[in-house]
Amino acid sequence: MYIKRIGSVFIALLLLTCSKTNSPIIQLNNDQKIGVNKRKVLIVGWDGVRTDALAVADTKTLFGLTKEATYSWNVDRGPFTVSVPGWSTLLHGVWPKKHGLTQNSFSGNRYSDYPDLFTLAKLTRPDLVTATLSNWDQFLDITQNENISIEVDSDFQLTQQTLILLNSQTPDLTVLHYNDPDFNGHETGFTPDNPKYIKAIQRSDAYLTQLMELVRYRENRFQEEWMVIVTTDHGGCEGHHDQQEDKKETRFIWYVIRTPNQAPLNLTAEKTNLVDILPTLFEWLNIPIKKEWNLDGKVLKRHV
């Protein structure tokens, strides 16, 4: 089903790379590379999703993943509660005191001292095919050295391009950034009783449904094993989230880290941090973590 439906769309994607269209903006740094590793990682970032909003929203697919995942609803994302520091913490595996970012600006970054997950992974696994997709241009500047970088205009388009990519080049490590929840939070309020905010979260879950259908198809058809990580960068109160380190609704977030046939493991009662995700996915990809990287996180336990 997926091969026939998405394969034809992939032709359109290739045509887009040769055109001058600005929607989407697609950069294939090495368009001949195809991921061949059986173990894959897909990071699905939902920007600005409060933990208590998940309890209100109809997010069946996300909660369904907890049946085969390590997960927590009480994760410290660290200080400086805006997106660039938050996503940098996740994707570089260190706190802001190391990566150097405290605002939605890249001025003063220490990325050369604390590289992103793509750069670190390829130090020992240069064969890995990597990709990042987002409809927020700043997100694409948080990482370097990916083989594929795609900027789109909407979360809907992001999903469609991801489905094409995962079933054609099938990168070994893919990072997605969904922006609708954060946009609606700023427009109408980051509160669980805000219908527009909740609907944006539910749309994100609907997109996750499509992604998981393809992941499970590929696992069954090609004997691949996918770690799927869904998380956020911050919550929020009222219509913003800046300088809210003292507010639990903003600072303490959530993650769901799914691997196939895993027994569920709820770490909510334990202290875990956003920086724990990077070493956990490296372990899954059999990437040795080197002491000189000076990462801040630990490998999270997983019930198998």
Q: Which of 3.40.50.300, 3.40.50.1010, 3.40.50.2000, 3.40.720.10 would CATH assign to domain 2-293? A: 3.40.720.10
To 5 degrees, how large is the angle CA 298–CA 142–CA 181?
85
Three-state DSSP string of 150-219:
EECCCHHHHHHHHHHHHCCCCCCEEEEEECHHHHHHHHHCCCCCCHHHHHHHHHHHHHHHHHHHHHHHHH
**Residue 169 and residue 129 in contact, taking contact as beta carbons nearer than 8 Å:** yes
User: According to the model, what pLDDT value does residue 181 have?
Assistant: 93
38: three-class secondary structure by DSSP: coil
pLDDT of residue 29: 52
Report residue 203: phi and psi, to 5°.
-65, -40
pLDDT for position 5:
33
The confidence score (pLDDT) of residue 298 equals 97
Q: Is 165 left (phi over 0), alpha (psi -120 to 50) or beta?
A: alpha
Residue of 286, 281, 232 lying closest to 259 (CA atoms): 281
Residue 57 DSSP symbol = S
Distance between CA atoms of 50 and 55, rounded to whole angstroms?
A: 9
pLDDT of residue 49: 96
Classify residue 289 by its DSSP letter: P
Q: Judge contact between 197 and 185, C-beta under 8 A.
A: yes
pLDDT at 272: 96
For the chain, the domains span 2-293
- Three-state SS annotation for 59-111: CHHHHHHHHHEEEEEEEECCCCCCHHHHHHHHHHCCCHHHHCCCCCCCCCCCC
288's CB contacts (< 8 A; 6+ apart) are: 124, 282
Q: Determine the Cα–Cα distance for residues 204 and 171; give it in Å rounded to an integer.
A: 21
- Cα–Cα distance measured from residue 217 to residue 60, given in angstroms and rounded to the nearest whole number: 19
User: What pLDDT, on a 0 to 100 scale, did the predictor assign at position 187?
Assistant: 74
Q: What is the mean pLDDT of each run of 10 residues along the chain (304 residues)?
A: 35 36 45 82 96 94 98 95 93 97 92 98 96 94 96 97 96 97 82 93 98 98 97 76 64 96 96 96 97 97 78
pLDDT of residue 239: 55
Per-residue pLDDT at 13: 45
Residue whose C-alpha is closest to residue 293's, from 130, 89, 120, 146: 120
